[in-house]
Chain A
Amino acid sequence: MIRPGKMLKQVLDSIFRKPATTNYPFTKAVMPDKFRGKIIFHPEKCIGCKMCMRDCPAGAIQIRKIGDKKFECEIDLGKCIYCAQCVDSCLKKALETTKEFELAALERNKLKVTYHADTGEVSKE
C-alpha cells in the first residue's frame, strides 16, 4: 500500500529499545582481535635488518644502532598510518600491534615514541 509514514511503526518501536550508540568515552570501546593499533617494539628480538624501515609507507619508523647488537626504535605516531606492514616485514617478530588507539596528544613531540634497548618505552621530551 502506498502511503506516507511508512517508517512510523519502526520509529515508535525504537522508543522502547536500548539506544544503538555506546556511551564512549565512558564505556570503553572494544577493538577486534586483528586491530592494527599502536605498534610496540621488542628490542631484545631486533637484529637491525631495517626491513621495517624499508617497507614503511609513511616513513614513521626509525631503527638506530646504539651498541653491539643493540637497537632502539623510534616510531612517530603522528606519521604512522597503522597499516602494520612493519609487523609483517619483520622476520624476527620484534614489532607487534596492540589494541591501543587513543593516541592523540597536544604536542607534536609527544607523538614520537622511542623504545630504548634497555629500558623499554620512553617518550621524547
Chain B
Amino acid sequence: MHKVVIPIGPQHPALKEPESFSVTLSGEKIMKFSARLGYNHRGIEKACEERTYVQDVYLTERICGICSHSHSTCFTQAVEEIAKVDVPKRALYIRTLVGELERIHSHLLWLGVAGHEVGFDTLLMYTWRDREVVMDILAMLTGNRVNYGINMIGGVRRDVSAEQAKAILKAMDTLEERTKYYIQVATQETTLIQRLSGVGILSHKDALKLGAVGPTARASGVNRDVRRDDPYAAYSEVKFKVITDDHNDVYGRTLVRMGELLESYSIIRQIVKKMPEGPIITKVPRKIPAGEATSRYEAPRGEDMHYVKANGTEKPERVKVRAPTLANIQTVAKMLEDRQLADLPIVIAAIDPCFSCTDRLTGIRQTGKRKKNVLKWEELHTYSITFYKEHGIDFTDLNKKMAKALK
C-alpha cells in the first residue's frame, strides 16, 4: 500500500507541549514512528552554572511542573554529597513525605489524562476532583500547589506540625478509598479494559534493551525502583512493595500506577508515624568544595538523574539532568510499530511524557558546508547574531546590555 508520512507538531492542537513526531503510515497502520526533541530547550543546565547553589535549587525545581520536587531533591542530594553534609533526619522524612504526595498527585493526574485520551472523560473529571485533596495538602504543607520550594541545600525550609500530620492522615484515608474505587473501575469497566489491553505492547526484553524506567518499565515486568535499589532520603526506613505487572501494555501501566498509589499511602502513613523530632536544616557553607556527584531519584515518571560537578566556588561547574521521559521516549517507537494510528495518543500518554523536562541539549551542526562539525559556544553565539541580522532582527543593543548586566 502507498505510504504516507504525517508530521504531528511541533505545534498541534492535540499536543500539550511543542514536540515534533513523524509518523509513516500505510493505510491506518503505523510503519514507523520517530520523535524529534528540541523544541522546548530552555538552557537550564547552563543557567544553573551561572547561578549559585542556593539559586539553583529553585531553578532545578522549575525543570518540571509536575515532578518539581523530584528534580530539586535530586539536585540537592548531589550537592549535599559533594559537600559531605549530614542532612537532619527530620528533613529527610519531610522530603520523602512531599515526594510521595507529589507521586500521588502525578499518578492521579495521569489517570485522568489517560481517561481523556481514550475518550473516558468521566474518569478525568472524577480523578481530577479527587486530586484536589492531595493538592490542598501540598499547599498546606509547603505554601503553594506547584513548585513547593521546600528544599534547601542541607535540609528543608518548612516543618510539619502535629495538626498538619493529622490532616495528612485524614486525606490519605479519603484518597485510599477513592483509589480503591478507581481500581475497581479499571478492573471491571469492560470498555476501559478492552481499549487499553494489548495496546502499546513493550515486551520485557525490549523494555530492558531500550532502557525504559519507572512505571513504563515496571509494567513490562522490570523489577526496578530506585527507592528500593538505592534508597535515598528516608526510604530505607519504610516498608513498601515495588509494583510490577506483566501485561506489558497500557493496561498494565494503569494497574502499576494505581498499585503505586496504594503503596504511597502506606509510605506516607509510616513516614508521619515515624517522623523523628529535631532540626530540619543544617547550615551549609556557600562555597561547595571541589568534587562531583551523581544522584538518582525515583520520580513519578521513572528514574531521574542529576550530575553535579563543583569547583570550590559558589557556583557549580557543570550540572547535567537526565529526566525520565528521555529514557522512555525511545520505547514509544517500539510500542507503535504495526499498530493503528488511533492508538497513538494513548500510547504516548501512557509513558506519562514530559517533554519540557526532557529537552536538555541541542546539538547544532553547521549546515550548508560539506564538513559537519559541532559548533562551539562562541561560534554558536556569532552564528545566531548573523542569522537574526539576515532575517532583519538586530540584537546588538540587547547584546551590549546583556554584557553589561553580566559584568
Contact = CB atoms under 8 A, between A and B. Distances in A.
| Real binding pair | yes
Interface of A: 1-7, 10-11, 20, 31-36, 54-57, 81-85, 88-89, 97
A119 B140 CA distance: 34
Given A55-B52, A57-B51, A7 B122 contact: yes
Given A4-B191, A57-B59, A34 B54 contact: no
Given A7-B185, A32-B139, A35-B144, A85 B129 contact: no
B189 A6 contact: yes
B84 interface: no
A88 B142 CA distance: 14
Contacts of B143: 32-36, 84, 97
A20 B190 contact: no
15 contacts: A2-B189, A4-B190, A6-B184, A6-B188, A32-B139, A32-B140, A34-B140, A35-B139, A36-B143, A54-B52, A55-B55, A57-B54, A81-B147, A84-B143, A85-B54
B129 A20 contact: yes
A83 B144 CA distance: 10
Contacts of A31: 139
B309 interface: no
A111 B316 CA distance: 32
A81 B58 contact: yes
B279 to A, nearest CB: 15
Interface string B113-136: 000000000110010010010000
Contact of A85 (B55, B147, B188, B189): B55
Contacts of A11: 122
Main secondary structure of the interface of A (DSSP, over half): loop
Interface string B53-85: 011101100100000000000000000000000
A10 to B, nearest CB: 7
Given A35-B144, A56-B55, A7 B62 contact: no
A36 B144 contact: yes
B158 interface: yes
Nearest to A97: B143
A90 to B, nearest CB: 13
B60 to A, nearest CB: 10
A20 B132 contact: yes
B122 to A, nearest CB: 5
Nearest to A59: B405
A57 B144 contact: no
B157 interface: yes
B193 interface: yes
Given A33-B143, A88-B152, 5 more contacts: A6-B185, A7-B185, A35-B144, A36-B149, A54-B52
Interface string B180-200: 010011001111010000000
A54 B238 CA distance: 39
B193 A2 contact: yes
A10 B126 contact: yes
